[in-house]
Amino acid sequence: MAGNSFGQLFKITTCGESHGGAVAVIIDGCPSGLFISEAEIQQELDRRKPGQSSITSPRKEQDLIHILSGVFEGRTMGTPILLLAYNTDMRPQDYEELKTLFRPSHADFTYLAKYGMRDFRGSGRASARETLARVAAGAIAKKYLQQHLNIEIISFVEQLGPLQASIDHCQVTPEAIEASAIRCPDPGMARQMIEFIEQVRSEGDSIGGIIKGVIRNAHAGLGEPVFDKLSADLGKAMLSINAVKGFEIGSGFACATMRGSEHNELLANHAGGVLGGISSGEDIYFRVAFKPVGTVPKTLALKTAGRHDPCVLPRAVPIVDAMAALVMMDFYLRSLRNVRQPR
């Protein structure tokens, strides 16, 4: 089936369903010699797994990762890496009624229209459980970028419904992000967001919001003209995440209300660190909009017993990190291929 792979030189292929036996990813193109352990990958997966707090899905999955190939004596070998995590808390019986019913705002109908059959158990392949594989692969890319290139990637919850944090992304630290269950580095706003999610959940509803991503210390020159722009691939990466409905980089849609004299790059990094589709050396920053979960008890047309997040944002933060890392790793390897030769 097409559409299960991402990247050109640093390429991942994922497989697995929400209530199948396991979720796995094959990484092809990872440079040799990188020290990596299951514990390091697990650290990223623990940020994504369900059951972390009262504001996430109650599904209990440890998401224990296993390195099955491509790593020897703790170092990558340059050969394909296979990572796998078994599903343990499956409840396919919760979805029996969906054999003949389609949920609103889900891929139930479109998967059937495309393939002539579908896995009705928790969305199957369309489930956000697939993102476990992306985070596992992203953990390796993230370590390589930080260790060899000093590139730091962070993401955080900037907005939840009508609540918006007022914080300079240049000052945000990983510690501040992880200080609260909502992963918003503004302590006061984080408390309000958590209270709001609990209120929404008590009403049998869900809520969406916005995650901001920041890539620091990316050197100038990453990106390909004309169709493989760095900004375009970042957009593709983020829009491939479940529940994402919008992406903007730099000033984004706000630039439509600005004048050229305001948007001039001499005054501020309105381009978000990308000019002409190629990194400029400044911080790359972008925003990703997530819709609210469609299956909620309050839905009048259909009620299911499946376990769902009242808000996907806290668990989506490491997914945004991972997808940004995969894009940056791929473009770094592409840049090595395009090194300017001396005249």
What is the spatial distance between Cα 201 and Cα 56, in angstroms, rounded to a whole number?
Answer: 10
- Mean per-residue pLDDT for 113-130? 85
Percent over 70 (pLDDT), the chain:
91
C-alpha 214 chain-centroid distance: 13
What is the spatial distance between Cα 157 and Cα 162, in angstroms, rounded to a whole number?
Answer: 13
| Consecutive H or E run containing 233 | helix 230-239
CA dihedral of residues 246, 155, 126, 206 (deg, nearest 10): -70
Tell me if 208 is assigned to some domain. yes
pLDDT of residue 145: 98
Higher pLDDT among residues 273 and 101, named by residue: 273
- With a cut of 90, say whether residue 317 has pLDDT above it: yes
pLDDT of residue 2: 74
C-alpha 241 chain-centroid distance: 6
What strands, in cross-sheet order, belong to the sheet with 163-164? Answer: 163-164, 152-160, 209-216, 284-290, 244-249
Number of structural domains in the chain:
1
Which residues lie across from 228 on neighbouring strands? Answer: none
- Mean per-residue pLDDT for 157-161? 98
Beta strand pairing call for 209-216 and 75-76: unpaired
- Which of the residue ranges 86-95, 126-135, 246-255 would you say has the lowest mean pLDDT? 86-95
Which amino acid makes up residue 343?
Answer: R
> Could you tell me the CA-to-CA distances from 191 to 53, 160, 312, 342 in Å, in that order?
14, 12, 17, 56
- Mean per-residue pLDDT for 179-199? 96
> Could you tell me the CA-to-CA distances from 269 to 113, 252, 262, 289 in Å, in that order?
44, 12, 11, 21
pLDDT category, 235, cuts 50, 70, 90?
A: very high
What is the spatial distance between Cα 266 and Cα 254, in angstroms, rounded to a whole number?
Answer: 18
pTM: 0.92
Strand intervals (E) in 235-336? 244-249, 274-275, 278-279, 284-290
DSSP 252: G
Q: Is 303 helix (H, G, I), strand (E, B) or coil?
A: coil
CB contact set of 327 (below 8 Å; sequence gap of 6+):
7, 230, 233, 234, 237
- Mean per-residue pLDDT for 118-131? 84
pLDDT of residue 301: 54
| pLDDT tens digits for range 47-75 | 998 766 678 776 666 899 999 999 999 99
Q: How far does the chain reach from its first CA to its final CA, in angstroms?
A: 45
Average pLDDT, the chain: 90
Tell me if 121 is assigned to some domain. yes
- Which of the residue ranges 43-57, 184-198, 219-233 would you say has the lowest mean pLDDT? 43-57
What is the spatial distance between Cα 110 and Cα 117, in angstroms, rounded to a whole number?
Answer: 10
- With a cut of 90, say whether residue 305 has pLDDT above it: no
- Mean per-residue pLDDT for 13-23? 91
Tell me if 343 is assigned to some domain. no
- Which of the residue ranges 236-245, 263-272, 310-319 would you say has the lowest mean pLDDT? 263-272
pLDDT of residue 14: 97
CATH code for position 253 = 3.60.150.10
pLDDT category, 108, cuts 50, 70, 90?
A: confident
Domain containing 216: what range?
A: 5-337
